[in-house]
Amino acid sequence: METYKGVMILLDGLGDRPAAALGGQTPLEAARTPNMDRLAASGLCGLVSLLTSWVPVETQTGTGLLLGLARKDIKKMTRGPVEAAGVGLPLHEGDVALRCNFATLRPNGTTFDILDRRAGRIAQDTDVLSSHLDGMDLGGGITAQVCAATEHRVVLALSGLALSDAVTDTDPGAGRAAEGVLPCRARDPDDEPAARTAGAINTFVRQSYEVLKGHSVNRARAAQGLPPANGLITRGAGQVTPVRNLVAHLKLKAALVTGEATVRGLGRLFGFDVIDHAAFTGRSQTNLDAKIAAVQDALVSHDLVFLHIKGTDTRSHDRDAAGKKALIEQIDAALTPLLHPGLVVAVTGDHSTDSTLGVHTGDPVPALLAAPHIRTDAIASFSETACMRGGLGHLSATSFLCAMLDHMNQMHSYRPHEHFFF
């Protein structure tokens, strides 16, 4: 049986809600996308709910499932260890990793007010700031490893005896900055390792502010009228746990092209060949043509290539619906080299992000699949509204990946012992 190679294009935060700035259209509906429309017209369209209907997800969950994460292993996929893998930070048994944001803080009694959860989405000198926190002694034999990730994101890894990831976040989350920095607590007050870990995290937050508040990088930012990155807020604590992946289980050779640390970490945890370059960024400004060229090169020696583009999500979080529309048009133009017969092409996103509110939502994500010998529906354009009527229907992330693998002729019939994937 002839098999086909495939490319899945993941546009982070692709789905959206109608934006007043775009006359009541979503950025995808308003965008001119002749290439994606052509793919839609030659295949099938639908809507993907990444986890379950109307439950918002984060990148590690949505992207993880589209990359083949076993559904039964979702609970193991915490953000901290994924981010650590993404920046190449080695973790040892018992270590606890957390995802952090550089933030702009202001002391308020025993805690801090949050003036900006992302310190103006700082993108320069984060490695310098991180290096001044790396190796911090938190007492009780616990030390901190700190490594800069994408833009304002940072990875914190705690090393020491009897640590636990069963702790709460100090980051209140998007839209809740008014609550200030939250105290880290053990989820179970009687869990001594968790209480010990929470205490170390609280010490780290306080000591980081003392180190960063007068740092030369922040003095320079203040002189430029930029918010200082004078503190860190934490979330997504986790310990490394093996996870299962459908693509690897099928023994397919897979590559992942990305410039974003979280997605890079997922690829490494799944055993994919991760293709990165200085020109590939997790920001809106990334070299799309270079990414497409990397996909073409990877297809020579791989069965399946995933292309991840972060900028669509970033524009949504910045509440820039017009900018998201413009970026979608740039991405569409860059896809031309991938439109040729004999290649299975899928396009979707890891979640929806509302570019009016700047937050993830539970709206299903538009999806298209084009392949040789595929059934076609009556959809001739790619958008949220059009995909509601498509032949793929409303399906899960795992089912969407399986639809792609099936059209590559790489899926076999269901085997009960593989139930954990589905």
Same domain, 207 and 321: no
- Please tell me whether residues 51 and 130 are part of one structural domain: no
> CATH no. for residue 298?
3.40.720.10
Give the pLDDT of residue 276. 86
Residue 225 vs residues 90, 221, 302, 304: alpha-carbon distances, Å: 36, 6, 47, 46
Give the pLDDT score at 169: 97
Instruction: Check residue 242 and give its pLDDT.
Output: 84
Q: What is the rounded CA–CA span in Å between residue 302 and residue 255?
A: 7
* Strand-pair partners of 148: 154
What averages of pLDDT result for each successive group of 10 residues across the chain (422 residues)?
96 98 98 98 97 93 97 88 89 92 96 96 94 96 94 94 96 92 97 97 97 96 96 94 93 96 92 88 79 97 97 95 98 96 96 97 98 97 98 97 98 92 91
What is the spatial distance between Cα 277 and Cα 299, in angstroms, rounded to a whole number?
17
CA 405 to chain CA centroid, Å, is 22
Cα(179)–Cα(35) distance, integer angstroms: 44
Give me the domain span that covers residue 138. 83-238
Helix axes 288-301, 321-334, angle to 10 degrees: 40
pTM here?
0.82
Judgement on whether residues 263 and 406 belong to the same structural domain of the protein = yes
Do 176 and 282 sit in the same domain of this protein? no
The Cα–Cα gap between 57 and 51 comes to 7
Please check whether residues 283 and 400 belong to one and the same domain.
yes
Given 207, 238, 269, the domain boundary residue is 238
| pLDDT the model gives residue 1 | 85
How far apart are alpha carbons 176 and 310 in whole angstroms? 23
Does residue 128 sit in the same domain as residue 209? yes
Both 109 and 126 in a single domain? yes
197 and 231 both lie in a single domain: yes
> How many domains does the chain divide into?
2
What pLDDT was estimated at residue 284? 65
Residues 126, 172, single domain; the answer is yes
